[in-house]
Amino acid sequence: MSEELLKKVLDKIKPTREDEEKVKLIVNEVIEKLNGLDAEIHGSFRKGTWLKGDADVDVFVFFPKNVGKEYISTEAIKILRDRLSGFDITTAYAEHPYLIVNHKGIEIDIVPALKIEEGEKPITAVDRTPFHTEFINSHLSEEQKDEVRLLKRFMKGIGVYGAEIKVRGFSGYVTELLVVKFGSFLEVLKNSSKWKPPVKIFIVKPERDFKCPLILPDPVDPSRNAGAAVSLKRLAEFSIASRYFLKNPSEKFFFPPEPAGDKIKGDVLVTKIEILDNNVVEDLLWGQINKSVEKIFNILRNYGYRVIDVQAYGDVKNLLFALQLESKEIGNYKLNQGPPFYMNLDDFISKNDNIWVGEDGRLYSIKERRNDKIEDIVKSAISLKYNYKVVEQYWLDREPKEPCLKAFLRKTPTWLK
């Protein structure tokens, strides 16, 4: 059953020869503008692990390493922008700026980098890329590259694909390394279905200790953990999905249906935000968003609310924070736990009334709650360094239209049930 299913999925996701030729022609039209520069195609397109309709073409333009990192961020970007004038160009930001060219329906990342020799320490995060490409192309057969395609589509379907901070999941390179290690899509799943953190997968021996849920030393640079971005949540989701796919293979793992509606459980507050700045670095923004989510959770819990869940959704322009409480109605007073009897009690006693000693030997008091509006607490807890405005804030009183809110309410991923 699983072999027939995988063949059916692969037929949908594997590009045809015509697809490949079409992308090559379009990419070459862009590369022609970079004539005379040290430009190379990389990414999954070069490695032959790309998915139909998602070419993932990276064109790296290498500059001598002695020009330094600052040159890459300033002069190199100017050179590339001048060369590519006339194309639809967007400037994006990661460790340093790069350009995105949209040409005839294909998105091509133009990335400046520094030229280093094999074994040399990289100066920017992307300097290793040629060696990653070489390693994958020399360690995967054409059949195994199809196995990578299946693994990527599976990870996309269950929502764990992508190493960016917004996702904190598996990068394309990690999917390729997993197939290098285990040989096939099904063997990766058989292994991952049994994972217990920390998961250690050694293609090469690490050159230092790592403390992460997934430890996968980079064969190109064993001092780097290629799996460092993978959070415990994403690792757990992938392991659970692997287990259940092996029990009951289904196309829904690869192509999940839209989340079904569900009744509103508890009270749900939605806060919509618009980012006003341009040139937003997505990873920096989502680092701030994740801290805001944690802050909302902790502040409301400290206020005495029973928080079920807090999540954020969106892109670099429009964000949505969803807060779910058991109830927004709580009493005017709360139990306040103090120190054990053998500690210094003066501060607690001076600041509280109605004090007594509990059965556990700790001091307790009754404390009046602050009468702050939940909406205002959430607004003040959202802390972004970019300019933004709160567009809308409301309590859900009916089933939402937004797929992300439907998924937020339902909780159970569509591939699980």
3-class secondary structure, 264: coil
Q: Is 152 annotated as a binding residue?
A: yes
Judged on CB neighbours under 10 Å (0-12, 13-18, 19+), 205 is exposed
State the CB neighbour count (10 A cutoff) for residue 80: 23
Unique residue bearing structure tokens 């230092």: 208
Long-range CB contact pairs, 189-193, < 8 A, 24+: 189/154, 189/242, 189/245, 189/246, 190/242, 190/246, 192/238, 192/239, 192/242, 193/239, 193/242, 193/243, 193/246
Say how far residue 191 (Cα) sits from the centre of its chain: 23
Edge-to-edge strand ranges of the sheet holding 318-325: 307-314, 318-325, 267-275, 388-395
Q: Is 44 annotated as a binding residue?
A: yes
Q: Are 26 and 103 in contact, with CB atoms under 8 Å apart? A: yes
Q: Is 47 annotated as a binding residue?
A: yes
Pairing of strands 199-200, 214-215: parallel
Q: Are 122 and 116 in contact, with CB atoms under 8 Å apart? A: yes
At 363, list the tokens.
């001091």
3-class secondary structure, 390: strand
Q: Is 218 annotated as a binding residue?
A: no
Q: Is 132 annotated as a binding residue?
A: yes
In the annotated binding site for Mg(2+), the residues are 56, 58, 109
In the annotated binding site, the residues are 44, 47, 56, 58, 109, 132, 152, 161
In the annotated binding site for ATP, the residues are 44, 47, 132, 152, 161
In the annotated binding site for CTP, the residues are 44, 47, 132, 152, 161
